[in-house]
Structure 1
Amino acid sequence: MTTADDLIELVRTYNPKTNAKKLAEAYAYGEKMHEGQFRHSGEPYFTHPVAVAVILTDMHLDDATIITALLHDTIEDTKSTYSEVSKKFGREVAELVDGVTKLTNLQLNSSETKQAENFRKLFIAMSKDLRVILVKLADRLHNMRTLRSMKPEKQVQKARETMDIFAPLAGRMGMQWMRDELEDLAFQVLNPDGRTSIIRRFIKLQRETGDVIHKITGDIRIELDKAHIEGEVFGRAKKPYSIWRKMEEKKLSFSRLSDIYGFRVICGTEAECYATLGAIHQRWRAVPGRFKDYISQPKSNGYRSIHTTVSGRDGKRVEVQIRTRQMNEVAEAGIAAHWAYKDGIRVKNPFAVDPVKWIASLTERLDSSEDHEDFLEAVKLEMYQDQVFCFTPKGEVVKLPKGATPLDFAYAIHTRIGDSCVGAKIDGIRVPLWTRLKNGQSVEIITAEGQRPQATWVDIVATGRAKTAIRRSLREEDRGRFIKLGLELARVAFDHVGKRMSDRALTTAARRLHIADSDELLARVGAAEISARYVVQTLYPELTAKPGEEIDAGHAIVGLAPDQTFLRANCCQPVPGERIVGLTYRGQGVRIHAIECPVLSDYQDETDRWIDLRWHAGPHAAVYTVSFDMTISNDAGVLGRICSLIGEQKANISDLHFSDRKQDFYRLIIDVDLRDVEHMHAVRLALEADSDVATIKRHRDLTRKP
């Protein structure tokens, strides 16, 4: 474990004026508070806060942040209190430690409504002091590095949460190195076979081609010397998850994937960056559509760089990033560059973004989201976005996420412009509203009085602001009809638990759900945005099953002996609600089969191995995988829509592979995690209703071991 003296020396390398005494006191206090506590690996617990502090020293952060890292678990996990930390280390540190504690207690992967509310709290914490998030990200990074000592199911939960929330958040904050590592560590848990396969192919490729990175780095240095440009050149192979994602997005095999290497040129000045770009393009052919100038049009998190892809040595595609040293510091540290120290003083990097302004730009469009679902969607869109820059006819720049359409452009200008949009011109040519915008295009929006948003627009737009505005307009249009329907649905839900629906009850529920009034609540119930059952649950939690009370998969079967373990049979994949029977296997516990499973006929003479079982009554978690055999049209967007339909039914796709590909259709096996037989029927019905789904049936592979 890093000692107090070692940690102080790490801080002194970039901040000679550090308060070594205060750091040592924080180290000793944290060690004392965590005395007797151990991690899952068996190590003393205090090794974790120290490791988090070391990660933050790599970002050259201030003393308050380093001390917060050392104490970040004391208020939550020890007898320490806010007032004691404040008295010993000052209010600033106490506020930061308290902020990290509150973030740790947020369940970001809970039900959608709860998750959205927790995301709001996350952004509130960020707006108070962004260093809270920096400590939390470093905390998550170290936890992911040491994840293997946890139970497998806990590893998967943490990995999914990291992939869905913390990795994109790090990327949105400009800390790409942290995003890459978090994604790769999560990928190692979620798809170990895929990651191993990519690493093996890399090793094989290196044997066949030699050290490509060294060769191309040398080639670039030669071109810089010819142009009399002083610059550093670095090369690296892309992370396994980054390669996997490209393979999935582009539907390419590893052998057909070209740009798996990335190179970076660090120059002294901005002028040298453009000179370097010219030298590289003069030597190698540029790949069309793969050039981005983030120096003239920086990202909102302060990131500046030139990106280009060229056909390099042996025709291999090579991605090159060109930036100055100051730009590189921001690219490495992201928003953290605002607090970075050098030689004892805070670095005034001209490219570092003011965190207050950055968090304001990130959240300004989220505040207008009226309900949980819209807010959650907007947050995720903001975190995952990659930007394109388009121009109004007057030459003003509008920043939009990748995949945005003219409708997004219209709503980015003003909601009134979006609502009344009837058409658009790109570079003077009339285009459909679903056209995807590209960098540098000039967009003109055509409007008309009396035009109202169409329901299909929700699927066309890519920004949370546009989706929220469209849904609000559609709600208002159908408000009367939805209120009437919501009233009937709510009445039935109240009757179901033996309670009478009243204006007072609806008003109370609306207030607890942070909705304006009872009419708005009923409108959302009628529009299926909130379930009537959830409204009743808000008022009478003791009479309804809470999300946290779902039956654990390990205790889902009734009829087993206390010492018997069980697994669902792979051949028939039974789900709650289906009739089941158990078969005992020596040394392997019990396998649960659906009663109609053909495999059971092989054991009809071994009745001593049969056990009469049933599913536990009550709500089950969506963890029971069922395979569907589907035939779908081979058209653009069909597979994406199929995945969206499954997601809309609150089901998760755990695997997907194609069993047959033809010119006009695909046949695929898709694994979906479900709650019970009713959930399975709902998913199947939604898919059958799609015109591009030719056939769908339950896939039962009798060749697989029970």
Structure 2
Amino acid sequence: MIRNVLATSSFPESVLELRDLLNTYLEPDRVAVILRAFEVGARAHEGQTRKTGEPYIMHPVAVARILANLRMDHQSVAAAILHDTIEDTPLTKGEIADQFGDEIAALVDGVTKLDKMKFRTRHEADAESFRKMLLAMSRDLRVIFIKLADRLHNMRTLGSMSPDSRRRIARETLDIYAPIADRLGMNTLKSELEDLGFAHRHPWRHRTIAEHVQEVTGDRREVIETIRKALKRKMSEVGVPCRVLGREKTPYSIYRKMQSRDLSFSEVTDVYGFRVITHSEPHCYMALGAAHALHQPKPGRFKDYIALPKANGYQSLHTVLSSPYGLPVEIQIRTEEMDITAEKGAAAHWQYKSGESSSVSAQVRAREWLMQLVDVQRHTGDSMEFLDGAKSDLFPDDIFVFTPKGKIIDLRRNATALDFAYAIHTDVGNHTSAILVDKVEVPLSTHLAHGQTVEVVTSADAHPVPEWLDFVATAKARTAIRHYIRSLEQKDTVALGMHLLETALNARGTSVTDVPQNLIDGLVADNHFERHEDLYTNLALGNLLAGVVAAKLAPDSTSTDGAAEALTIAGLEGSAVEFAACCYPVPGDPIVGFVSAGKGVVVHRANCRNMRELRKHPDRCLVVQWAPLTHGMYRVALRLVTRNVPGVLASLTATLNEAGTNIERVEQPESNPETATLNFTISVEDRDHMARVMRRLRRNRNVLKVSRIIA
């Protein structure tokens, strides 16, 4: 039960103004909770000041005022007033919960930074804070509303900070917070965050553009008002009830346009536009027809975000007209409800658990995006990787494509057909074997375009390969592919370690199944491993020797003279097996394995010069053989002596391409006026393929000699 608050006369003027604003939409008992939060916060922050010199509590009050202007619920506004108490005062989450309930305490905790934790770098701390913030957002979307309001007020008062701090905070605002506000459809906050971030990061550029905008607007004021009145008159003629508003572009949006299109300021003429706000969706399309009847529309500049809303729930019709004044006229047409959503986004008409609303609402779309991020972070190894991936998805220059059943899937621009498969579901992406775009099969790396219909064909035998990482564009796809490859490599490494131990035990006349479980458990404990898999992984990586481990597990057994079982190499072992760069073995070559500490099994050609030294360590040498069927491409080094004539390298490249091989590396160690020596590292399937490549090279009229490089 909230006790009576202090007499209103004891509140600062800013709090009284906040109270008056809250009274316009909240019940008195809920306003009382917020005023009580001010009392508690003021006591907790007593004696603390900001760099501006004002009492610290004025900052949380200002944050609360921003949320009140968005007509947020009383829990959000109360949490905003208390949002820095856990971090900066002795007040605890438990004490807040006792006085205000678990819901407000959870919101305060959700926006608390991690400054008290120890990190190796500031970037890592920022990344971990970002991860925590997004996870808190996924539990309650109001956390990010408070965080954005907090950042906005900090940006408004950034002038008291040092120049380096201003630039760093401004960059962070432009990189993370403004894009999040955009992703949540909160255009009012986004625009101010962007413009303040731009002003503090590039003050001269911001000031110059702002001055130019003021000059241009002043020069065109009469023309702009003439166009606005003509638009309003035309709407009245066709019976469209509406408001017509002028819309001036911000310095940052002009700067971004100048950068992206490589334009000068004089070429960015559409610094002013118009917004037509009407009553219903049919009125929007009537208004569009009226606008096109007034002035000729520019081809290719019409966008229907009502039929196909943006990923953040934004809906509007966009068109550009050619006016008789030589100015392009940008027009946005939307309903009153669409306008509220466009300005406030997921915070519009806030109701807790608003996921029950329409499937196209900004709140639901925001939750869907957050759930995708939660899924991504589950499979991401560290905070920096997660932050980089999330940031890449925070600039959603979106495209819209369709499933065969007509469902709309929004993807970031440059997304590929494989990104679409992962957007459907991670399992679909992992088992993609083919993709049809508008019923035509395309490569998985094909970039998608607006309006295409995409169908994914899956197969139980299909699985991610490292090459997929070279072309996917979304964080979800990249994270899923990396997670699969890491898990596969872990399985391969464990399997190799088990094979090495089994082989070593077989040589002593026993096997893993014959070893008492308590001996294996003891060995795992003695080496401070958490799991048996850690033992096998260290055996595979050469950090433990299989022969030594076998002797400990079977001390009473003696080595036999029987031939050890060969390790079969098929090319599917991933990081568990490495092919020596000194001799580049390929399928068909006689080979030997060597267990190298930290690397695992390194495969050499049997006649590699380095094996003379390596054989001095027989406990690390392995019997290995090629599988009957191998997979993948293998590097091989060739030395070519050629005529030293113009165009010889182009000629050799064409010959290698015809032979079906890829060039990995080219070096020219020596040359003279008549000849040149070139060392090529190429990839082949096996010895037969290598022989075909060498024969084709010898038929090239510029090639005098071809030989394989031996270490």
Are positions 1:171 and 2:182 aligned together?
yes
AA of the residue aligned to 2:35: A
Structure 2 match to 1:366: 376
Q: Look up the match of 2:240.
A: 229
For residues 607-661 of structure 1, what are the alpha-carbon distances to aligned partners after superposition, in whole Å with 9 as ceiling and x for unaligned?
A: xxxxxxxxxxxxxxxxxxxxxxxxxxxxxxxxxxxxxxxxxxxxxxxxxxxxxxx
> TM (normalized to structure 1)?
0.63
For residue 157 of structure 2, what is the aligned residue in structure 1? 146
**Structure 1 residue 240, shift from structure 2 partner:** 0.9
- Which whole-Å CA distance do the structure 2 matches of 1:78 and 1:425 have between them? 58
CA positional deviation for 1:404: 1.5
Please, which of 62, 80, 84 is the counterpart of residue 69 of structure 1? 80
Q: In 2, are the aligned partners of 1:339 and 1:347 still within 8 Å (CA)?
A: no
Cα deviation, 1:573-623, whole Å, max 9, x if unaligned, reads xxxxxxxxxxxxxxxxxxxxxxxxxxxxxxxxxxxxxxxxxxxxxxxxxxx
Label 1:396 to 1:101 Cα distance change in 2 as closer, same or farther (>3 A): closer
Q: CA deviation at 1:230?
A: 0.4
| Aligned residue in 2 for 1:332 | 343
Equivalent residue, structure 1, for 2:662: none
Deviation at 1:257, TM superposition (A): 2.1
> CA separation in 1, counterparts of 2:462 and 2:356?
50
Counterpart-to-counterpart distance in 2, 1:36 and 1:453? 58
Taking only the aligned residue pairs, the percentage that are identical comes to 41
| Residue 263 of structure 1 pairs with residue 262 of structure 2 | no
Q: Cα–Cα, structure 1 residues 111 and 475, in superposed 2: closer, same or farther, change >3 Å?
A: farther
Q: CA shift at 1:267, angstroms?
A: 1.4
Q: Which has the larger radius of gyration?
A: 2
> Which residue pairs with 1:410 in the alignment?
421
Whole-Å separation in 2 of the counterparts to 1:258 and 1:510: 68
Taking a change above 3 Å as real, the CA distance of residues 509 and 279 of structure 1, as seen in their structure-2 partners, is farther
Report if the CA contact (8 A) 2:398-2:411 is conserved.
yes
Whether contact under 8 Å (2:48, 2:56) holds in the other structure is: yes
* Structure 2 residue corresponding to 1:439, chosen from 447, 450, 456: 450
Partners of 2:251 and 2:195 in 1: CA distance: 7
Name the counterpart of 2:684.
none
Q: Is the 8 A contact 1:52 1:139 kept in 2?
A: yes
1:154 maps to amino acid: S
In the alignment, the residues of structure 2 paired with residue 526 and residue 185 of structure 1 have an alpha-carbon distance, to the nearest angstrom, of: 53
CA contact (8 A) 1:424 1:446 kept: yes
CA contact (8 A) 1:126 1:359 kept: no
Match of 1:126 in 2: 137
Alignment deviations for residues 289-316 of structure 1 (CA, whole Å, 9 cap, x no partner): 4333332233444332223333345343
Contact 2:400–2:450 under 8 Å retained in 1 = yes
User: C-alpha deviations, 1:139-175, integer Å up to 9, x for none?
Assistant: 1111110001111222122112211111111111111
Q: CA deviation at 1:473?
A: 5.3
Secondary structure, aligned partner of 1:297 = coil
Q: Deviations over 1:351-370 (max 9, x none)?
A: 45248944654435414533
> Using a 3 Å threshold, how does the CA distance of structure 1 residues 398 and 183 change in structure 2: closer, same or farther?
same
* Structure 2 residue 41 is the aligned partner of structure 1 residue 30: yes
Aligned partner of 2:565 in structure 1 is none
1:401 matched to 2:412? The reply is: yes
Q: Deviations over 1:658-688 (max 9, x none)?
A: xxxxxxxxxxxxxxxxxxxxxxxxxxxxxxx
Deviation per CA, 1:377-420, whole angstroms, max 9, x where unpaired? Answer: 33223322132211234433222122212222233335565456
> Is 262-271 or 462-471 further displaced after alignment?
462-471
Q: Which moved more, 1:216-225 or 1:424-433?
A: 424-433
Q: Which residue does the alignment assign to 1:383?
A: 394
Whole-angstrom distance in 1 between the partners of 2:295 and 2:308:
25
Q: CA deviation at 1:51?
A: 1.0
Looking at structure 1, the residues matched to 120 and 198 of structure 2 have their Cα atoms a distance apart, in angstroms, of 18
Give the SS at the match of 1:314. Answer: coil
Task: Report the CA distance shift for 1:356/1:185 in structure 2 as closer, same or farther (over 3 A).
Answer: closer
Does the 8 Å CA contact 1:103/1:122 hold for their aligned counterparts? no
Q: Which position in structure 2 is the counterpart of 1:194?
A: 205
What amino acid is the match of 2:333?
A: I
Give the structure 2 partner of residue 249 of structure 1.
260
Range moving further from structure 2, 162-171 or 24-33: 24-33
Change (3 A) 1:334 1:109: farther
What one-letter code is carried by the residue in structure 2 that aligns with 1:83?
G
- CA separation of 1:322 and 1:364: change in aligned 2, threshold 3 A: farther
Distance 2:401 2:168 in 1: 39
The residue type equivalent to 1:267 in the other structure is T
Q: Is the 2:437–2:454 Cα contact (8 Å) retained in structure 1? A: yes
Look up the SS of the partner of 1:266 in the other structure: strand
Give a deviation string over 1:327-367, Cα, whole Å, max 9, x none: 222222111125269xxxx9998645248944654435414
Asked whether the equivalents of residues 183 and 394 of structure 2 are also in contact (C-alpha less than 8 Å), the reply is yes
Check conservation: 1:230, 1:267, Cα contact below 8 A.
yes
| Structure 2 equivalent of residue 79 of structure 1 | 90
In the alignment, which residue of structure 2 is the partner of 1:353?
A: 363
- Give yes or no for contact 1:159–1:190 (8 Å, CA) kept in 2: yes
Relative to 1, partners in 2 of residues 1:356 and 1:244: Cα closer, same or farther, differing over 3 Å?
Answer: closer
Partner AA of 1:410 in structure 2: A
Residues 1:160 and 2:166 aligned together: no
Tell me the TM-score normalized by structure 2: 0.62
Q: 1:154 to 1:72 in 2, by over 3 A?
A: same
SS for the counterpart of 1:139 is: helix
Matching of residue 240 in structure 1 with residue 251 in structure 2: yes
Q: Matched residues in 1 for 2:251 and 2:532: separation?
A: 47
1:39 alignment partner, one of 33, 40, 50: 50
- 1:60–1:340 Cα contact (<8 Å) kept: no
Superposition deviation, residue 28 in structure 1: 2.8
What is the CA-CA distance between 1:5 and the residue it aligns to?
Answer: 2.5
How far does the alpha carbon of each residue in 1:100-134 deviate from its partner, in whole angstroms, 9 at most, with x for none? 22467689995666555443312221122222221
Structural mapping, 1:463-478, within 5 Å: 463-472=474-483
Distance 1:72 1:277 in 2: 45
Indicate how the Cα distance of structure 1 residues 384 and 169 shifts in structure 2: closer, same or farther if over 3 A, else same.
Answer: same
Q: Secondary structure at the match of 1:259?
A: coil
Shift of 1:21: 3.1
Runs (5+) with no aligned partner, structure 2: 1-11, 497-523, 544-573, 579-597, 599-711
- Contact kept, 8 Å, 1:424 with 1:445, in 2: the verdict is yes
Tell me how far apart the structure 2 counterparts of residues 226 and 149 of structure 1 sit (CA, whole Å).
Answer: 53
Is the contact between residue 311 and residue 317 of structure 1 (CA under 8 Å) also seen in structure 2? Answer: yes
Q: Per-residue deviation at 1:479?
A: 6.9
Query: Conserved in 1, the CA contact under 8 Å of 2:436 and 2:442?
Result: yes
Give how far 1:236 is off: 1.8
Relative distance call for 1:385 and 1:349 in structure 2 (3 A) is: same
Aligned Cα RMSD in Å? 4.1
Tell me what 1:184 maps to. Answer: 195
* Letter of the structure 2 residue corresponding to residue 399 of structure 1: D
SS at match of 2:348: helix
Question: Which residue number in structure 1 is paired with residue 520 of structure 2?
Answer: none
Contact 2:183–2:311 (8 Å) recurs in 1: no
User: Would the aligned equivalents of 1:503 and 1:518 in 2 still touch at CA under 8 Å?
Assistant: no
Q: Which residue of structure 1 aligns with residue 306 of structure 2?
A: 295
For 2:348 and 2:119, locate their aligned partners in 1 and report how far apart those are by CA, in whole Å.
27
Instruction: Please show how residues 266-665 of structure 1 align to structure 2 within 5 Å.
Output: 266-339=277-350, 351=361, 353-354=363-364, 357-358=367-368, 361-363=371-373, 365-367=375-377, 369-372=379-382, 374-415=385-426, 418=429, 426-427=437-438, 434-444=445-455, 455-472=466-483
Q: Distance in 2 between matches of 1:525 and 1:115?
A: 34
